[in-house]
Amino acid sequence: MKAEHLELSKLKKAELYDFMKGTRNKEEYRRASAIKQKLEGIPYRSIARNLDVNYRNVYNWIQEYKEYGLDGIRSKRKNAGRTPKISSDKNKDRIKEIISKSPTTFGYLKNTWSIRLLATYLTTTLGMNVSPMQTWRIVHDLGIVCKRPKLVLEHAEDYEKKKKIVDNYKKVSAALLKKNSPRI
């Protein structure tokens, strides 16, 4: 490889420096730093030594920058890591179908799904290892709102009777506690 010098216009240099200030990706910053060092006339091998990479990488980064500009040194991977299994479209459809049915159809003694109950069902029965928080995120992504059912009284007079009994009990128990409580 011949020792070549990289030259950029003032606008391109300013763009590169702004990119270095703005990027939060360390790989992108490293590539931009290699280009900056090449602008200063530093050889490929010295840049590679400074950045602790192979000189071939430095050469490739600079060629990419020459050909594509800043897009050439941007990270190509948007989300690295294992692909999510639970949030795939197929599984989301399954979860939607499960939620549309009552938990009693699956052998639970509850009438409505809770996030924790749904997470337990997905983990034990379907073998999907999910936490309640992850289950909540998936349910939220599906556009399903988790609300507790409102209690509707069949007979208001029964409620009033029970309320009077409870209030009376509270008064009597408070008086008994005061009367029988040991003094310390």
DSSP 44-113: HHHHHHHHTS-HHHHHHHHHHHHHHTHHHHS-S-SS-SPPPSTTSHHHHHHHHHHHHS-GGGGT-S-SS-
Supply the pLDDT for residue 34.
93
Domain assignments of the chain as residue spans, ordered by start: 10-73, 89-141
Q: What is the pLDDT of residue 29?
A: 92
74, 29 contact by CB (below 8 A): no
- Taking the chain (184 residues) in consecutive chunks of 10 residues, what is each chunk's mean pLDDT? 71 89 89 92 92 92 90 76 68 87 89 90 83 89 80 73 86 74 56
Determine the pLDDT at residue 77.
67
Q: Look at residue 52 in the predicted model and tell me its pLDDT.
A: 92
pLDDT score recorded for residue 59: 93
